[in-house]
Amino acid sequence: MAAFICGTGSCLPAYRMTNEEWTQYVETSDAWIRERTGIESRHIVREETCVSMAVQAAKSALEQADMEAGEIDLLVVSTISAEHILPCAACEVQQQIGAANAVCFDLNAACSGFLMAYHTALSGIETGMYKTALIIGSECMSHLMNWKDRGTCILFGDGAGAVILKNSSRPFYLPAGHSDGSKKDALLLRSRHSGEIDNFTDPQYYMQMDGQAVFKFAVRQVPEVIREVLKKNGLKQEDIRFFILHQANRRITEAVARHLKEPLDKFPMNVDHCGNTSSASIPILLDEMNRKGELHRGDKIVLAGFGAGLTWSAAVLEW
Ligand code: UT7
């Protein structure tokens, strides 16, 4: 009873912020950002919220799948940036789209969150617990980053992506996933409830990142987890049409392609106009490709996510 993706949707905030605009906040340049990250612009919330973007992405995925919200059994939102801790963003989305029959919860595995939500939904469908699942990655990273820290702020963007999974007779592929809590300091964001922070101007209140450590980790672990997921499922790299990676930095994607000795055109990217949208990046890219008609029935695709925790994961799916 393996699941397949029967609908995708996404939402990017209306406001597009160019690299040039960052020079108002930090000492940087368009040339530095392009060269080191591949990013040219990113979308930043003004009116939008984590939940409003998730709702819009969910509605467009439902429309594409030609489904009613009431048909959804499981609704998972992967996020680290919802406006409320209680209730979970998934319940707010449920209420706004009318998914009255869905079990709803949020999931936090940082930039790997969409992959973890995908695994959760897949196993629920495989066991027969659910027939349909709506999984969403939605992030307002601009609320979490330190706008005075040029080493992190220029990297991130806001947005949401959604996919709908439905049970089907397609082959089931086992995912692969790992975590290493001993590297927790590489990407850290303290909660405002931690009691360690005096006020909201304290840089500790915002995301802190050892960029080079995360970069090296991603370049080392992503090719490995991709090889692992292929081996687990008896597949070869040449069976794969696209490797869709978490969009963190163009240079990371290029390095992973080099390690796997695969052509870069098998690694679609949208980091140039979205930046790093954390757990929203993979579903946003999937939706962009889907709507451009770049994904074809029977294509085998590898998804791979990595980020804070540290966490990293890969999955194979058949379109
Ligand atoms: O989603 C997962 C989460 N995070 C990631 O995937 C992040 C992975 N890491 C990265 O993408 C990169 O490490 C960054 C883009 C964050 C930084 O690029 P880098 O090539 O690793 O730069 P660096 O930190 O080694 O800094 C090199 C130089 C430094 O100057 P000095 O010490 O050589 O004089 C920095 O101070 O570049 C400087 N620098 C900047 N200069 C202009 C750092 N940020 C900037 C900036 N503009 N925005």
The tens digit of pLDDT for each residue in 216-256 reads 999 999 999 999 999 999 999 999 999 999 999 999 999 99
Let me know if 153 is a catalytic residue.
no
DSSP-derived secondary structure letter, 265 = G
Instruction: Give the pLDDT band (50/70/90) at residue 192.
Output: confident
Residue nearest to atom 10 of ligand 1 (CA): 211
d(CA 314, CA 285): 16
Structure tokens at 103: 């079990």
Whole-number average pLDDT of the chain: 95
pLDDT for position 170: 84
Rama region for 207: left / alpha / beta (φ>0; ψ in -120 to 50; rest): beta
What pLDDT is stored for residue 2 in this prediction? 78
Within 6 A (CB) of ligand 1 lie 28, 32, 36-37, 111, 150-151, 154-155, 187, 209, 211-212, 214-215, 218, 248-249, 276, 307
143 given a catalytic annotation = no
At residue 191, the pLDDT reads 83
Q: Between the CA of residue 291 and those of 60, 65, 122, 239, 294, what are the distances in Å?
A: 11, 12, 23, 23, 8
| pTM of structure | 0.96
- The answer, yes or no, to whether residue 197 has pLDDT greater than 70, is no
pLDDT in tens, 136-161: 999 999 999 999 999 999 999 999 99
User: Which tops the pLDDT comparison, 181 or 170?
Assistant: 181
**Structure confidence at residue 153 (pLDDT):** 96
- Nearest 5°: phi and psi at 184? -60, -25
Residue 133: name the closest of 65, 80, 183, 36 by CA.
Answer: 65
pLDDT digits (tens, 9 = 90+) for 69-113: 999 999 999 999 999 999 999 999 999 999 999 999 999 999 999
* Selected residue with higher pLDDT from 1 and 216: 216
Rounded CA-CA distance 50/279 in Å is 12
Residue 203 confidence (pLDDT) above 90:
no
Residue appearing with tokens 């080493």: 151
How far apart are the CA of 46 and the centre of ligand 1, in A? 26
